[in-house]
A and B are shown apart, each in its own frame.
Chain A
Amino acid sequence: GQSLEQPSEVTAVEGAIVQINCTYQTSGFYGLSWYQQHDGGAPTFLSYNGLDGLEETGRFSSFLSRSDSYGYLLLQELQMKDSASYFCAVDAGGYQKVTFGTGTKLQVIP
């Protein structure tokens, strides 16, 4: 089976940088995705890492180390609107094998 671990809550100051970690154990691995979800809303796709290294999209970056079964989402220049839950998701191959973590609730404070 698959299991993912990420911190349940993180608090950071507006304008700062925050890193949300995700470690995983899977029987197969194709890639790691990140999603953002505001309270009561729909998750939105942020990024996908299929290979080791850093992927940058504006203020958000995502990193993957396949040898360490580890990835992280880096948010820079934090804004109040970044307060949301962030989920990592492992793609272990096939339609049914995208497994989501339990989410990290990020609170951005002034």
Chain B
Amino acid sequence: DGGITQSPKYLFRKEGQNVTLSCEQNLNHDAMYWYRQDPGQGLRLIYYSQIVNDFQKGDIAEGYSVSREKKESFPLTVTSAQKNPTAFYLCASSIRQGGTYGYTFGSGTRLTVV
């Protein structure tokens, strides 16, 4: 079955560490996105990518970095510059731009700073 796989499900980060969250899709979708979800808040866009080797900053990109070397993969690195990284991170993809066809989300990675 097609879908989005995020790993790991839970991740613990020490202060000053960089960590990378994996996102892989086999839906043949062009567009991919990373969102952050905090309690009581909606989903906030971190980065998005329309095609391979191209990505754009979203609303809260500071302290994060991404790459899009393959259509199927869109990993997110949470750097030490992100001062409050504890959150639920969701990766999504869509067949084409806009919301018409909906986003398919992965099951998320819960990141905790220890």
A residues near B (Cβ < 8 Å) are 4, 8, 30-31, 33, 35, 40-45, 48, 50, 87, 89-91, 93-96, 98-103
Contacts of B106 in A (CB 8 A): 42
Query: B-side interface residues toward A, CB under 8 Å?
Result: 31, 33, 35, 40-45, 48, 50, 56, 58-59, 90, 97-108
Contacts of A41 in B (CB 8 A): 107-108
A42:B105 contact, CB within 8 angstroms = yes
Which of A44, A48, A50, A101 is B42 in contact with, Cβ under 8 Å? Answer: A101
Q: Tell me which of B33, B44, B90, B99 contacts A33 (CB under 8 A).
A: B99
**How far does the alpha carbon of A50 sit from the alpha carbon of B104 in the complex, in Å?**
19
From B56, B58, B97, B108, give the contact of A42 (CB < 8 A): B108
How far, in whole Å, are A50 and B98 apart by their CA atoms in the complex?
Answer: 11
Contact A33 B107 (CB under 8 A): no
Q: Is the CB of A42 within 8 A of B102?
A: no
Q: Let me know if B105 and A44 touch, CB within 8 A.
A: yes
Bound: A91/B33 CA distance, A: 14
CA gap between A4 and B102 in the complex, in Å: 18
Name the contact of A98 in the complex, choosing from B41, B99, B107 (C-beta under 8 A): B99
B58: nearest chain-A partner, CB-CB: A96
Instruction: Kindly state the separation between the CA atoms of A98 and B75 in the bound complex, as whole angstroms.
Output: 21
